[in-house]
Structure 1
Amino acid sequence: MHHYFKDKMETWEGKLVRLNRDCETGLYVFKKGTLMRVWSANNVRIMLRTLPCEACKIEASMTIKGKKKDYQLYFDFVEEKD
């Protein structure tokens, strides 16, 4: 299993993650276990997007600001099958 938390954050873009906890924005509550994709990553913030809704194709997003070591509190990377 690859440990992405040791890699440069820029390499996280496009990776699939699973939330470790409930996360709230002003609009949404993303439940623990929600699958999301890293939309962008830099040393200031991570932007995550939900997978498109099967019915309506809408995606919701959230931003987490913090330090690289703290992101493990919010999500783990999911290995994708090709």
Structure 2
Amino acid sequence: MHDYFKDKMETWEGKLVRLKRECSTGVYIFKKGTLMRVWSANNVRVILRTLPCEACGIQASATIRGKKTDYKIFFDFVEEKE
């Protein structure tokens, strides 16, 4: 598996990730193991979005603030199967 943490953060957009720990936004609590997609990434924050609900299509998002080296404790990149 490619180590995206070594790449520029701009290349993370659209990548699939799995949460390594429970994350809370104040509105939602995302459980460990939740699959999300990187919606936006820069040197200040990463915005993750859940995959669309199969029934209604709704998505929720979470913002993680920190440095690039901090994000490894929150999520791992997942290879997508075609």
TM-score range, shorter chain: over 0.9
Task: Give the Cα separation in 2 of the matches to 1:69 and 1:44.
Answer: 11
Task: Give the Cα separation in 2 of the matches to 1:44 and 1:34.
Answer: 22
Q: Where do 4+ consecutive residues of structure 1 move more than 6 Å?
A: none
Q: Any idea what the Cα deviations from partners look like across 1:36-80, whole Å, max 9, x if unmatched?
A: 000000000000000000111000001000010110000000001
Q: Any idea what the Cα deviations from partners look like across 1:1-45, whole Å, max 9, x if unmatched?
A: 100000000000000000000000110000000000000000000
Aligned CA RMSD, in angstroms, stands at 0.5
Task: Give the Cα separation in 2 of the matches to 1:63 and 1:74.
Answer: 11
Q: Secondary structure at the match of 2:10?
A: helix
Aligned to 2:54: 54
Contiguous gaps of at least 5 residues in structure 2: none
- Aligned pairs (5 A) from 1:19-30: 19-30=19-30
Query: What is the identity, as a one-letter code, of the residue corresponding to 1:78?
Result: V
> Once the two structures are aligned, what percentage of the paired residues are identical?
79
Residues paired across the two proteins, number: 82
Task: Give the Cα separation in 1 of the matches to 2:28 and 2:38.
Answer: 17
Q: How far 1:81 sits from its partner (Å)?
A: 1.6
Contiguous gaps of at least 5 residues in structure 1: none
Query: What is the identity, as a one-letter code, of the residue corresponding to 1:53?
Result: C
TM-score with structure 1 setting the length: 0.98
Task: Give the Cα separation in 1 of the matches to 2:79 and 2:25.
Answer: 26
Q: Secondary structure at the match of 1:76?
A: strand
